[in-house]
């Protein structure tokens, strides 16, 4: 949610020596079109499947992070025969919300609230993604600040809001038991975003990971110590090793 394909640079740089790595800017993000776009989990899943078809990819493995994890699940459920493996990094969709909680979340996460964020708020939001925010994430923060001055800013922001709402409006937890693929689930032990600390204060990231992974017949769960939500950037060395091991077997 709200990020773009450079999120994967630290992983691609290492994994590309053994695997073909393709990162996607979803509609509304990065270099992709930002006008009059469908944006929800199933709509984004269709886009991912179209990319796979267009590039004629054989035996692809989807690696989805956060909202991307929920999208990856949606894509696999739409086209089970395409995939043998699935990787979910700090996926959304494992944590569940009541209709009342979802309504409240959507009422506070609005177009106006995002567009009015100050630089200090933007930096604070980024910091929440990490156990210890690395210095080299600064270029992403600068990109986020620059987009404020572009003509696409409102369209980008609307895509972020629509994606957030889509995660809530298209819950996936009850469909996890339909996933037959060998699945790797990874969370950071210090994830400050999953679970939601205000709405689910008695939950832990470990419990959320265990509850979701338990629904998938062929899933393994790994927890990364001293690691936040943005695990591909927070602990890239550990994530790359885990990914390589999973993909190799």
Instruction: Provide the 3-class DSSP secondary structure of residue 20.
Output: coil
- Residue 207 burial by Cβ neighbours in a 10 Å radius (0-12, 13-18, 19+): middle
Of all residues in the chain, what percent carry a pLDDT higher than 70?
A: 100
Angle between helices 119-127 and 138-147 (to 10 degrees): 140
pTM strictly above 0.95: yes
Helices (H), the chain: 9-15, 41-54, 67-78, 99-108, 111-115, 119-127, 138-147, 153-169, 205-213, 231-234, 236-248
Q: What is the DSSP letter of 123?
A: H
**Paired residues of 223 in beta bridges:** 187
CA-based nearest residue to 163, from 23, 22, 6, 34: 34
- What is the pLDDT of the chain when averaged over all its residues? 96
For 48-67, write each residue's pLDDT tens digit: 999 999 999 999 999 999 99
pLDDT of 38 above 80: no
Residues 6+ apart with CB under 8 A from 132: 226, 234
C-alpha distance from residue 175 to each of 17, 60, 216, 220 (Å): 35, 21, 9, 17
For 120-131, write each residue's pLDDT tens digit: 999 999 999 999
**Structural element, H or E, at residue 183:** strand 182-188
pLDDT at 36: 77
Domains in the chain, ordered, with CATH?
5-248 (3.40.50.1820)
DSSP string, 29-86: STTS--SS---SHHHHHHHHHHHHHHTT-SS--EEEETHHHHHHHHHHHH-GGG-SEE
CA 177/CA 85 separation, integer angstroms: 15
User: Cβ atoms within 10 A of the Cβ of 21, count?
Assistant: 14
pLDDT at 35: 85
Query: What number is the average pLDDT over the span 170-194?
Result: 98
Instruction: Provide the 3-class DSSP secondary structure of residue 8.
Output: helix
Instruction: Provide the 3-class DSSP secondary structure of residue 202.
Output: coil
For 65-89, write each residue's pLDDT tens digit: 999 999 999 999 999 999 999 999 9
């Amino acid at each position: 949610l709200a990020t773009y394909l450079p999120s994967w640079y630290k992983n691609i740089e290492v994994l590309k020596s053994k695997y073909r790595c393709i990162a996607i800017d979803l509609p509304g993000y990065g270099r992709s079109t930002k006008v009059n776009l469908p944006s929800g989990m199933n709509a984004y899943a269709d886009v991912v499947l179209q990319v796979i078809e267009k590039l004629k990819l054989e035996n692809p493995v989807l690696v989805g992070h956060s909202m991307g994890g929920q999208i990856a699940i949606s894509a696999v459920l739409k086209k089970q025969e395409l995939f043998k493996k699935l990787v979910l990094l700090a996926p959304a969709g494992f944590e569940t919300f009541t209709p009342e909680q979802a309504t409240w979340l959507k009422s506070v996460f609005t177009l106006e609230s995002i567009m009015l964020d100050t630089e200090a708020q933007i930096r604070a939001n980024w910091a929440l993604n990490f156990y210890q925010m690395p210095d080299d994430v600064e270029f992403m923060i600068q990109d986020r600040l620059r987009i404020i001055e572009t003509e696409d800013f409102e369209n980008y922001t609307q895509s972020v809001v629509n994606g957030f709402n889509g995660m809530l409006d298209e819950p996936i937890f009850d469909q996890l038991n339909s996933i037959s693929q060998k699945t790797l689930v990874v969370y950071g032990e210090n994830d400050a975003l999953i679970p939601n600390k205000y709405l689910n204060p008695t939950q832990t990231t470990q419990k959320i990971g265990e509850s979701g992974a338990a629904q998938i017949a062929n899933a393994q769960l790994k927890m990364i110590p001293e690691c936040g939500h943005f695990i591909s950037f927070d602990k890239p060395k550990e994530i790359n090793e885990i990914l390589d091991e999973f993909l190799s077997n």
